[in-house]
Structures are given as structure tokens and as C-alpha cells.
């Protein structure tokens, strides 16, 4: 590359600055007298751009107060009467903007301190280097762009965040909806709250602006409610019962918080770590197969799933490699279920043993196909284990997808297919039941052409247990997001915080804010007091 071209490359691009070593000329500290944000004793135009970016942190779901945006905005407008004041402002702004870039890219909390067992990739973005390069180039947008998450859902949520934030204080939520006439409101019924209901649906985009409110709950108003129900994980039948009524009364500020919490999780949920991935979103009760090419994400696979009960068998959040598939699997009943459920049921109804196709395996490996008091005692004490043979009654259905993890969670089919049609699908002991096991197997085995659809079905129906190892393991991510945009430019969907993870994360973020605000971003507070 000619010398002049190389110089232009170094000066004009963030990548060029990082590669060409131009950062050596960037004044990054006040220790040697060179300041990043001060020119001729005054805050530079870049400093003013920095505080403007910090002031708009809410656009990314962050809190400007965490970066002292208001205080720094005042400080850059004041005369700096001493070198000490210049250094103080320069240091404070550097710390604030560095923290902002870090939070934007990596998030404000370590997920493992909250609830997730994600194998978070090592930090690859050098926030300090990115900031120094952007300052040298005179363009902070380069640093912000480098720090912004690239997963498409993140960007898709941002306009909805702005839209719901604009609804905070909207007159449509100034008063509560009128109580329902009875336990529910069905299409065609009389309702005193039709005007306010319509106003909310118009504000949310579920009804067109200029909608003419009917005297009764009927026509397009019912259609608007159906659209609202669809976007909130409810049966879109147009009947306003308890669940729909509660969701209609959720204020926009609460939706803003849901979006912000989802954005926070997207900063550290490893959704772009491989070319092909399986992602389960627990509150949505959905599984998706992702195919990733750079920043582009295709979703060729999507299905309903059943997850762990919210009360006491919640499915944990983590990421692991799927390494094997077991066709016509045995179900090895976990010891906790054996003691708490299976043994008591067998004591009440011994015939349940044969009907369910159970057998007992002793510590020596002997398989026992009859039941007696001694065997029940061995099961209760852990001296033996019980398993269910492959077959129509098997709790795992006819296929099991294995991704080894500390919680012994896996995916499997189920004989209880009717549960997939429920709105809320937290019924399992923690494992994930899949609605379309053949489609999932086809996605997982895509790189192994010998596994045709016919061969997959034959293996599932054979009744003989067979485990195959995948030639190419595929990453499985068990994630949690209560706000979602399902397609580019599409509507936003909200889901219930079934496990209370939103509340837990919000508490962690509140602690973060309290900590960083107590740690003075400026060594002595207001710069003017230093003069």
C-alpha cells in the first residue's frame, strides 16, 4: 500500500487506527498533560458530542444517570478556570464514556451473578482502544457502532422502545378500564369502557387511528383485541377474560422496562457464537433453529415447546453443545421424581408398573421386571433405579436430544401432544418437550445426508434404543426474553415473566445504578467548585 494511502486509511477509519498503531499519538490520560476532551483549555466539540450521546443513553435501554450525563452536560458548558478543572472534566468524561461503551456492548451485570449459567465468550472488544481510535478519528459514532450488539432482535426492539416510552403519560392510561360485566366480556356484549379500550388499542397500533368507537363490544374492536391477545401470548379469541383484562391494564412504563430488560439480556446472551444454533425462549415457550451468516440471521425452524413448571421445576438458563440423539430412548426416572412421585404412585397402584412399561435396574446392573415391597424399598433408598422402556407410553416419546449439562436437561418428544396447544406451557419437570421432533432432528442432522426423513422416522419407531453422536455438535441456548419482535419491521410481542427473572434482573440493575452513582464519576463532583 502506498504511504499516502496508508496514512489516509489510518486517519479515516477506526479499524485503520487500531491496525496502524496510530493510537500512540492519541492523548488518553491527564498524567502526561495531554487531555482527550480539552482543546486550548476548553471542552472540545467532541466532548460536547460525547455528553450528547450519554444524554441519549435511554435510546439504547440504558440510564443516562449512570453516566452522570446531566452533570457532564453542565460541566462542558462552563469555563474551566484552572488546569485542575480541565483534568477533572477530562477524567470524568473518559470514565463515563468508557463505562457507557462497556455497558452497551457487554451489559451492566454479569449474568452468572443473577441466574444464568451462560458460558459467556471472552471479552473481545477492547473498549478503551475503540474509544481512543474514535477520538483520534474525530468520530464517536465509530465507537458506538463498534459497541452496539449486532443480533437483529436488538436493533428491532429499539424503535419499539422509543414508541412505548412516548406512550408513558398518554391519556389512554390516565384512568383504569371499566370493570368487566361479569367474569368476561364476549363479542357483542355491552361495555361501558369501549371508548377507553379503543383509545388504548389505537395507541398500541392494534387498531388504526381514526377508529370509530362502536356502542357495543363488536366488529373491528373485537379484531383489535384479538391482535392484542396474539401479541401478548394469549388465545386470540376476542373474549376479554381475566388474563386479557390484566394485560390491557399494564401501563406503557412497565412495557418500557420489559424491553430494556430484554435489551440487557441480548448484550450477554450468546446468540451469535456459531453458524447454526438452537435457541429456546422460555417465557415464549418457543424453540427456533438459527442459521447465521455474519450479522444476518435466518430462522428455518420454529416450534412450540413445553418447559419446566414455574413453581418448583424451572428450566434453567444456560448454553451447551448438543452432541447426541437417542432414538426410541429409555426414560431413566430421576431419583427425585422416583422418591416423590413414582414410588408413592406404585404403592397406591402396583398395576401402574406394568401399564407404564417400567423396569428396575439394581446397583449390580440386573434388570428386574416385577414389583414387590423389597424393590420399592430399594427405589426409595436409592439402592436401585427405575426406568421406562421405549414404547408408546414412554414419557420421552420416541426421541431424545442430548446436550450434557449439570442440570440433566435435555429435549425430547412426548405422548401428551395436546399440551402444545395451551397458551402457557410450563408443565415439565425441567426438560424441554418439543412439538415437532422430526423437524428438529432434520435440522440437527442437516450436515449428515445419510439421515433422511424416512430413516429418522424408522429409528424413532423401531422400539430399540439407539444413540448416535452428531458429527458436528450444535449449540443450544436456553434464553429468557419477555419482549420480542419476531420479524423485521414487525409488531412487538410481550410475554409473562413466568419465572420472575425480570424482577430479579431489575433488582440487579438497580444495585448497579446505586453503586456507580455512589462512585463519583468526577473526583470532586462539580468542576466549577475546583476553580
Active site residues: 412, 431
Enumerate the β-bridge partners of residue 341: none
Four-point Cα dihedral 236, 170, 512, 406, nearest 10: 0
Task: Name residues whose C-beta falls within 8 Å of residue 140's C-beta, 6 or more positions apart in sequence.
Answer: 46, 49, 50, 53, 97, 134
Q: Which of 356, 320, 352 is nearest to 473 (CA)?
A: 320
The SS3 assignment for 325 reads strand
- Residue 470: CA count within 13 A, CB half-sphere: 21
472 vs 187, 325, 446, CA distance in Å? 52, 12, 10
Q: List Cβ neighbours of 287 (8 Å cut-off, separation of 6 or more).
A: 278, 279, 280, 301, 302, 303, 304, 305, 411, 432, 434, 440
Question: Is 142:14 a contact under the CB 8 Å cutoff?
Answer: yes
Q: Which residues contact 207 (CB under 8 A, 6 or more apart)?
A: 198, 201, 220, 221, 224
Cell 417465557 sits at which residue? 283
Q: Regarding beta strands 483-485 and 358-362, do their DSSP bridges make them parallel or antiparallel, or are they unpaired? A: unpaired
Residue 397 region, left (φ>0) first, then alpha (ψ -120 to 50), else beta?
left
The DSSP 8-state label assigned to residue 364 in this structure reads T
What is the rounded distance in angstroms from the CA atom of residue 168 to the CA atom of residue 72? 26
Compute how many other C-beta atoms are within 10 angstroms of the C-beta atom of residue 267.
Answer: 22
Amino acid at each position: 500500500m502506498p504511504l499516502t494511502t496508508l496514512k489516509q486509511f489510518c486517519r479515516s477509519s477506526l479499524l485503520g487506527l487500531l491496525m496502524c498503531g496510530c493510537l500512540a499519538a492519541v492523548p488518553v490520560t491527564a498524567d502526561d498533560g495531554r487531555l482527550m476532551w480539552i482543546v486550548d483549555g476548553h471542552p472540545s466539540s467532541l466532548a460536547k458530542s460525547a455528553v450528547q450521546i450519554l444524554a441519549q443513553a435511554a435510546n439504547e435501554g440504558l440510564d443516562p444517570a449512570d453516566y452522570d450525563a446531566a452533570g457532564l452536560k453542565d460541566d462542558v458548558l462552563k469555563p474551566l478556570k484552572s488546569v485542575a478543572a480541565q483534568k477533572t472534566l477530562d477524567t470524568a468524561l473518559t470514565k463515563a464514556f468508557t463505562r457507557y461503551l462497556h455497558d452497551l456492548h457487554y451489559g451492566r451485570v454479569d449474568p452468572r451473578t443473577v441466574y444464568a449459567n451462560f458460558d459467556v465468550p471472552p471479552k473481545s472488544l477492547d473498549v478503551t482502544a475503540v474509544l481512543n481510535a474514535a477520538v483520534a478519528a474525530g468520530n464517536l459514532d465509530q465507537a458506538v457502532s463498534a459497541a452496539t450488539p449486532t443480533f437483529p432482535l436488538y436493533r428491532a426492539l429499539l424503535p419499539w422502545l422509543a414508541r412505548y416510552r412516548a406512550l408513558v403519560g398518554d391519556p389512554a392510561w390516565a384512568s383504569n378500564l371499566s370493570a368487566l360485566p361479569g367474569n368476561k366480556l364476549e363479542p357483542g356484549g355491552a361495555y361501558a369502557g369501549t371508548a377507553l379500550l379503543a383509545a388504548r388499542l389505537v395507541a398500541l397500533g392494534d387498531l388504526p387511528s381514526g377508529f370509530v368507537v362502536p356502542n357495543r363490544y363488536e366488529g373491528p374492536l373485537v379484531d383489535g383485541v384479538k391482535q392484542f391477545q396474539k401479541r401478548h401470548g394469549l388465545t386470540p379469541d376476542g373474549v376479554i377474560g381475566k388474563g386479557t383484562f390484566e394485560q390491557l391494564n399494564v401501563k406503557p412504563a412497565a412495557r418500557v422496562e420489559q424491553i430494556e430488560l430484554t435489551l440487557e439480556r441480548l448484550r450477554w446472551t450468546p446468540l451469535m457464537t456459531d453458524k447454526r444454533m438452537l435457541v429456546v425462549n422460555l417465557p415464549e415457550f418457543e424453540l427456533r433453529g438459527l442459521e447465521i451468516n455474519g450479522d444476518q440471521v435466518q430462522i428455518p425452524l420454529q416450534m412450540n415447546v413445553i418447559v419446566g413448571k414455574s413453581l418448583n421445576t424451572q428450566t434453567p438458563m444456560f448454553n451447551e453443545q448438543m452432541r447426541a440423539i437417542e432414538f426410541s430412548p429409555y426414560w431413566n426416572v430421576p431419583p427425585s421424581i422416583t422418591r416423590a412421585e413414582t414410588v408413592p404412585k406404585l404403592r397406591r397402584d402396583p398395576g401402574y408398573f406394568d401399564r407404564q412399561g417400567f423396569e428396575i435396574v439394581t446397583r449390580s446392573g440386573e434388570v428386574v421386571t416385577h414389583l414387590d415391597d423389597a424393590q420399592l424399598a430399594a427405589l426409595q433408598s436409592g439402592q436401585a433405579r427405575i426406568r421406562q422402556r421405549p414404547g408408546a407410553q414412554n414419557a420421552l416419546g420416541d426421541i431424545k436430544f442430548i446436550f450434557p449439562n449439570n442440570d440433566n436437561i435435555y429435549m425430547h418428544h412426548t405422548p401428551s401432544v395436546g399440551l402444545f396447544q395451551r397458551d402457557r406451557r410450563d408443565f415439565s419437570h425441567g426438560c424441554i418437550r418439543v412439538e415437532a421432533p422430526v423437524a428438529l432432528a432434520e435440522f440437527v442432522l442437516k450436515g449428515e445426508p445419510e439421515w433422511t426423513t424416512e430413516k429418522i422416522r424408522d429409528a424413532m419407531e423401531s422400539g430399540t434404543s439407539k444413540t448416535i453422536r452428531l458429527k458436528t455438535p450444535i449449540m443450544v441456548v436456553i434464553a429468557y426474553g419477555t419482549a420480542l419482535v419476531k420479524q423485521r419491521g414487525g409488531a412487538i410481542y410481550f410475554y409473562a415473566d413466568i419465572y420472575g427473572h425480570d424482577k430479579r434482573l431489575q433488582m440487579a440493575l438497580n444495585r448497579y445504578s446505586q453503586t456507580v452513582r455512589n462512585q463519583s464519576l468526577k473526583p470532586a463532583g462539580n468542576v466549577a467548585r475546583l476553580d
